[in-house]
Amino acid sequence: MRDIVDGVFKRTLTLLETNLDILEQSAQDLLQRETLDEPNLVAIGSKVKRTEAAAA
């Protein structure tokens, strides 16, 4: 069980590090607008860079 959790944690951390610029911009947008609707979330999702580790 520990190996599964560690693997998921590492993949998540890699995905967040790879997309840190998108995460920071999304946080700024959310602070300015207070809400993000579906088109905003779809636009953010389309920018996300997937990694080999995250795809596994």
Burial of residue 56 (number of CB atoms within 10 Å: 0-12, 13-18, 19+)? exposed
The span from the CA of 47 to the CA of 35, in Å, is 19
In this prediction the pTM is 0.68
Residue 51: per-residue pLDDT: 77
pLDDT over threshold 70, residue 53: no
pLDDT digits (tens, 9 = 90+) for 28-52: 999 999 998 999 999 999 999 987 6
Segments forming the whole domain that contains residue 44: 2-55
Q: Judge whether 56 and 11 are in contact, CB under 8 Å.
A: yes
- How many independent structural domains does the chain possess? 1
Q: Please, which pLDDT band fits residue 21 given cuts at 50, 70 and 90? A: very high
pLDDT over threshold 90, residue 24: yes
